[in-house]
């Protein structure tokens, strides 16, 4: 998408900026205090901190009794989000192509079915999934919750990929076939590069939803060896004995940093998911 | 290599596009499939290159039956209307792609790409991507890609449709030059009669999935088998007059003029006929005087084009060397060359 940052000569942007600043001030303050509170202590009831401290970030170098190490949890989260991304990308880039281009019996039914699955709230399935996972021995394991989360997010990916594949001209594929390439080569070498923006976007999107997923890991993989950050965070606030609000905030900041980094570097690609075209 | 279509039929679902078509293209020949859009010419082309499977009938390359072979095993080169270049690859990678998928050594590919790109005059553009090329250059890349693995057959699907007028002229002779130099059998699909006539050895004119006539361009122009063929070839197009047969002559609708024609000797009186007159056969020279009013005049630089409305309202076109004595609205008495006129029966058959 082209840059839309140019300002209009006919309208001054000052009043709009002013209004937006005013409206978003409370949000900005909230974020500011989220950060300030993690590196300082203040008197009860006071807004101004009276000392700087790193004690709330202690969780980074010491593991509390009964809790998992933050680094193990972070690694788990990366494995969780990364695996989901990989599974979704591989399956939906192939399924999308098949649904867009090959002669599939009952294509309409299939697409509608996939859509219905997407519309299904995962919470309604959680009890049955719990039972199934326990039955096959994947309860309290990362693999189990990865498979479940990937399966639930898959319909959106398949639909998105199908939409992007639909915009790739048929002639490119025909040319590939008469040039002597097999159907798989055509897909891999000619068609897939055309939808690279979509792959980027879907990959980021999947990673971010995986990173922020809470309810599935909480129910299906709560054990301390397989905890992810969202579950760890929740366990902090649920712990009535050692209630520490500042540490909770520090973990929260720690949790959100990778997301911010991704947004900063890849927001152009992420926008593509709503653009729906093969733009680079 | 000779191409033979034997009783080739193709239908999509219940729609029959082509039924029992026979067509033979000689080795080294360039044949045009000419027809209006929707006449099945592209379908035929896609069947020859293996993208569509024929519903019935056979397709032979030389003596080899390729009917059930997939595209990959047919060794055909295709130039698509949109060129279908691979946007993410450079020109060099595009041209080399057919060899790359065959796993040829990289050195050989480089050499062959250099050869073929010199042949189509794009050897200075190898590092660019398709988006950085003009229409004519893209066209040359597409040609090079189609030719690089020395195909048995070259298929061109409206290759000039996306070019501007001047480039079209240039690429017309360019494609013909390459075809002659490589001696490859080629089929050109087009709806433009000028392209077909200027580039090809023979023309197969198609209508509603059938071949109406196959002939060399000049044969077809001078001896059209039906009114459709006569109307399709020629620019400016032929004009048609309605009339009927009366004792061995064509009589125009209002009886204003009669034209004795040998071919009408055995035709019963009163049969409805159509007379086709090419614009170059109506003008100052000829043997039959026809009177009318100039309703349209256009100068094309070297020639002038006139539409003359006759008394019964029908229109005759005339093309003449430039003159400035005739103006819009003038009444003219021009002559018609009766031996050059075509007579068609009511069903369009030439008599």
pLDDT reading at A66 higher than 60: yes
pLDDT of residue A3: 47
- Mean predicted confidence (pLDDT) in B250-276: 79
Q: B86 vs A169: CB contact, 8 Å cut-off?
A: no
pLDDT reading at B23 higher than 50: yes
Instruction: Show which of B202, B232, B262 is a domain's final residue.
Output: B232
Looking at every residue in chain A, the average pLDDT score rounds to 86
Query: What CATH number labels A69-244?
Result: 1.10.3720.10
Instruction: Please indicate if any CB of chain A lies within 8 Å of the CB of B147.
Output: no
Q: B80 vs A185: CB contact, 8 Å cut-off?
A: no
Does residue B351 lie within any of the structural domains?
A: no
pLDDT reading at A104 higher than 90: no
Helix intervals (H) in B184-293: 193-199, 217-222, 227-232
Q: Which of A175, A182, A193 sits opposite B84 (nearest CB)?
A: A175
Does residue B269 lie within any of the structural domains?
A: yes
Residue of B nearest to A280 (CA): B88
**In total, how many domains does chain B have?**
2
Same domain, B102 and B246: no
Same domain, B184 and B322: no
Q: B228 and B348 in contact (C-beta within 8 Å)?
A: yes
Q: Which stretches of chain A sit within 8 Å of chain B by CB?
A: 169, 171-172, 174-182, 185, 189-190, 193-194, 196
Range of the domain at B85: 3-232
Q: A175 vs B76: CB contact, 8 Å cut-off?
A: no
The alpha carbon of residue B302 is apart from the nearest alpha carbon of chain A, in Å, by 41
Same domain, B38 and B150: yes
The pair phi, psi for residue A31, each rounded to 5°, is -65, -40
pLDDT band at A192, cuts 50/70/90? very high
Same domain, B21 and B81: yes
DSSP 3-state percent helix, strand, coil across chain B (nearest 5): 30, 35, 35
Instruction: Show which of B216, B232, B248 is a domain's final residue.
Output: B232
Could you report the per-residue pLDDT of B64-90, keeping only the tens digit for each? 899 888 888 888 999 998 889 999 999
Q: A104 and A96 in contact (C-beta within 8 Å)?
A: no
- The residue ranking higher by pLDDT, A268 or B238, is B238
pLDDT of residue A2: 44
Does residue B36 lie within any of the structural domains?
A: yes
Q: B331 and B291 in contact (C-beta within 8 Å)?
A: yes
pLDDT of residue A247: 86
Q: A171 vs B74: CB contact, 8 Å cut-off?
A: no
Q: Angle at the Cα of A185 (from A179 to A186), degrees rounded to 5?
A: 60
Q: Which of A178, A189, A190 sits opposite B71 (nearest CB)?
A: A178
Lowest mean pLDDT among A115-124, A167-176, A254-263, B56-65: A115-124
Q: B336 and B281 in contact (C-beta within 8 Å)?
A: yes
Q: Which of B52, B55, B50 is nearest to B70 (CA)?
A: B50
pLDDT of residue B214: 93
Q: What is the CATH number of the domain that holds B79?
A: 3.40.50.300
Instruction: Please indicate if any CB of chain A lies within 8 Å of the CB of B270.
Output: no
| Chain B residues closer than 8 Å to A169 by CB | 82, 84
Q: Which of B84, B97, B101 sits opposite A174 (nearest CB)?
A: B84
Same domain, B125 and B228: yes
How many CB pairs below 8 A link A and B?
60
Q: What is the 3-state secondary structure (H, E, C) of chain A?
A: CCCCCCCCCCCCCHHHHHHHHHHHHHHHHHHHHHHHHHCEECCCCCCCCCEECCHHHHHHCCCCCCCCCHHHHHHHHHHHHHHHHHHHHHHHHHHHHHHHHCCCCCHHHHHHHHHHHHHCCHHHHHHHHHHHHHHHCCCCCHHHHHHHHHHHHHHHHHHHHHHHHHCCCHHHHHHHHHCCCCHHHHHHHHHHHHHHHHHHHHHHHHHHHHHHCCHHHHHHCCCCCCCCHHHHHHHHHHCCCCCCHHHHHHHHHHHHHHHHHHHHHHHHHHHHHHHCCCCC
The dihedral through the CA atoms of B143, B149, B155, B157 has a sign that is negative
Q: A178 vs B87: CB contact, 8 Å cut-off?
A: no
Burial of A265 (0-12, 13-18, 19+ CB in 10 A): exposed
Does residue B350 lie within any of the structural domains?
A: no
User: Which residues lie across from B321 on neighbouring strands?
Assistant: B303
Q: A174 vs B50: CB contact, 8 Å cut-off?
A: no
pLDDT of residue B236: 87
pLDDT band at A88, cuts 50/70/90? very high
CA dihedral A190, A191, A193, A197 (to 10 degrees): 170
Q: Which of B80, B97, B101 sits opposite A174 (nearest CB)?
A: B80
Q: Angle at the Cα of B285 (from B282 to B291), degrees rounded to 5?
A: 55
3-class SS at B119? Answer: helix
pLDDT of residue A277: 45
Number of H-type helices and E-type strands within chain B: 8, 20
Same domain, B94 and B16: yes
Q: What is the CATH number of the domain that holds B311?
A: 2.40.50.140
Location of structure tokens 């003038």 = B330
Instruction: Please indicate if any CB of chain A lies within 8 Å of the CB of B82.
Output: yes
pLDDT reading at A5 higher than 70: no
Angle between helix axes A196-212 and A142-166 (nearest 10 degrees) is: 150
**b/e B114-142 (16+ beta carbons within 10 angstroms → b):** eebbebbebbebbebbbeebeebbbbbbb
Same domain, B257 and B185: no
| Chain B residues closer than 8 Å to A194 by CB | 87-88
ipTM over 0.90: no
Q: Which of A172, A175, A182 sits opposite B72 (nearest CB)?
A: A182
Percent share of chain A, pLDDT over 70: 94
Instruction: Show which of B212, B232, B252 is a domain's final residue.
Output: B232
- Cα distances (angstroms) measured from residue A50 to each of A43, A58, A272: 7, 19, 46
Residue of A nearest to B148 (CA): A179
- Mean predicted confidence (pLDDT) in A198-204: 90
Q: B78 vs A174: CB contact, 8 Å cut-off?
A: yes
Q: How far apart are CA B349 and CA A217, in angstroms?
A: 79
- Mean predicted confidence (pLDDT) in B289-318: 88
- Mean predicted confidence (pLDDT) in A67-84: 92
pLDDT reading at A233 higher than 50: yes
The residues spanned by each domain of chain A are 14-53, 69-244
| Chain A residues closer than 8 Å to B13 by CB | none
Could you report the per-residue pLDDT of B176-213, keeping only the tens digit for each? 998 998 889 999 999 888 889 999 999 999 988 889 99
pLDDT of residue A96: 93
Q: Which of B82, B87, B102 sits opposite A180 (nearest CB)?
A: B102
Lowest mean pLDDT among A15-24, B92-101, B138-147, B263-272: B263-272
pLDDT of residue A146: 94
Residue of B nearest to A194 (CA): B88
pLDDT of residue A81: 96
pLDDT of residue A278: 44
pLDDT of residue A272: 64
3-class SS at B4? Answer: strand
**Taking the CA of residue B150 as centre, how many other CA atoms within 13 Å lie in the half-sphere pointing to its CB?**
5
| Residue B94 CB partners (closer than 8 Å, separation 6+) | B85, B86, B130, B141, B145
Q: A178 vs B88: CB contact, 8 Å cut-off?
A: no
Q: How far apart are CA B128 and CA B95, in angstroms?
A: 12
Instruction: Please indicate if any CB of chain A lies within 8 Å of the CB of B207.
Output: no
pLDDT of residue A58: 84
Q: Which of A172, A181, A193 sits opposite B101 (nearest CB)?
A: A181
């Amino acid at each position: 998408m082209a840059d839309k940052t140019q300002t209009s000569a006919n309208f001054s942007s000052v009043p709009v900026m002013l209004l937006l600043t005013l409206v978003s001030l409370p949000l900005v303050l909230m974020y500011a205090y989220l950060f300030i509170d993690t590196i300082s202590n203040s008197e009860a009831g006071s807004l101004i901190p009276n000392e700087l401290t790193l004690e709330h970030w202690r969780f980074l170098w010491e593991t509390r009794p009964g809790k998992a190490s933050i680094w193990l949890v972070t690694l788990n989260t990366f494995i969780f989000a990364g695996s989901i991304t990989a599974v979704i990308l591989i399956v939906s880039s192939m399924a999308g192509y098949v649904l867009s281009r090959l002669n599939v019996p009952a294509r309409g039914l299939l697409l509608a079915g996939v859509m219905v699955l997407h519309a299904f709230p995962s919470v309604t399935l959680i009890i049955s999934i719990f039972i199934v996972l326990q039955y096959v021995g994947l309860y309290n394991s990362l693999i189990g919750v990865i498979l479940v989360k990937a399966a639930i997010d898959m319909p959106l990916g398949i639909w998105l990929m199908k939409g992007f594949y639909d915009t790739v001209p048929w002639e490119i594929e025909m040319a590939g076939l008469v040039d002597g390439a097999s159907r798989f080569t055509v897909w891999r070498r000619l068609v897939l590069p055309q939808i690279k923006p979509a792959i980027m976007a879907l990959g980021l999107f999947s990673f971010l939803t995986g990173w922020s997923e809470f309810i599935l890991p909480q129910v299906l993989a709560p054990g301390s060896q397989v905890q992810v950050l969202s579950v760890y965070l929740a366990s902090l606030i649920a712990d009535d004995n050692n209630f520490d609000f500042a540490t909770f905030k520090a973990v929260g900041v720690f949790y959100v940093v990778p997301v911010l980094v991704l947004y900063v570097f890849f927001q152009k690609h992420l926008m593509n998911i709503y653009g729906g075209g093969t733009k680079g | 290599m000779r191409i033979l279509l034997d009783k080739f039929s193709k239908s999509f679902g219940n729609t029959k596009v082509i039924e029992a078509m026979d067509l033979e293209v000689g080795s080294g020949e360039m044949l045009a499939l000419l027809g209006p859009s929707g006449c099945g010419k592209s379908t035929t082309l896609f069947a020859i290159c293996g993208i569509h499977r024929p519903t019935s009938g056979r397709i032979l390359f030389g003596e080899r039956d390729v009917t059930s072979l997939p595209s990959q095993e047919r060794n055909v080169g295709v130039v698509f209307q949109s060129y279908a270049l691979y946007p993410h690859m450079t020109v060099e990678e595009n041209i080399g792609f057919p060899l790359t998928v065959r796993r040829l050594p990289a050195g050989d590919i480089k050499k062959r790409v250099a050869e073929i790109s010199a042949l189509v005059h794009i050897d200075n553009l190898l590092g660019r991507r398709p988006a950085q090329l003009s229409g004519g250059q893209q066209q040359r890349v597409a040609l090079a890609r189609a030719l690089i693995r020395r195909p048995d057959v070259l298929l061109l699907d409206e290759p000039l449709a996306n070019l501007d007028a001047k480039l079209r002229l240039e690429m017309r002779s360019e494609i013909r030059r390459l075809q002659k130099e490589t001696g490859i059998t080629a089929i050109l699909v087009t709806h433009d009669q000028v392209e077909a006539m200027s580039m090809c050895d023979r023309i197969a004119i198609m209508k509603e999935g059938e071949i109406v006539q196959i002939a060399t361009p000049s044969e077809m122009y001078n001896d059209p088998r039906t009114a459709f063929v006569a109307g399709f070839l020629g620019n400016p197009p032929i004009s048609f007059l309605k009339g009927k047969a009366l004792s061995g002559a064509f009589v125009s609708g209002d009886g204003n003029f009669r034209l004795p024609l040998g071919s009408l000797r055995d035709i019963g009186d009163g049969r409805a006929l159509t007379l086709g007159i090419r614009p170059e056969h109506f003008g100052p020279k000829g043997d039959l005087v026809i009177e009318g009013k100039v309703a349209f005049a256009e100068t094309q630089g070297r020639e002038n084009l006139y539409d003359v409305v006759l008394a019964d309202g029908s229109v005759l076109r005339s093309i003449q060397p430039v003159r400035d004595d005739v103006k819009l609205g003038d009444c003219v008495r021009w002559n018609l060359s009766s031996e050059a006129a075509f007579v068609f029966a009511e069903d369009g058959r030439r008599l």
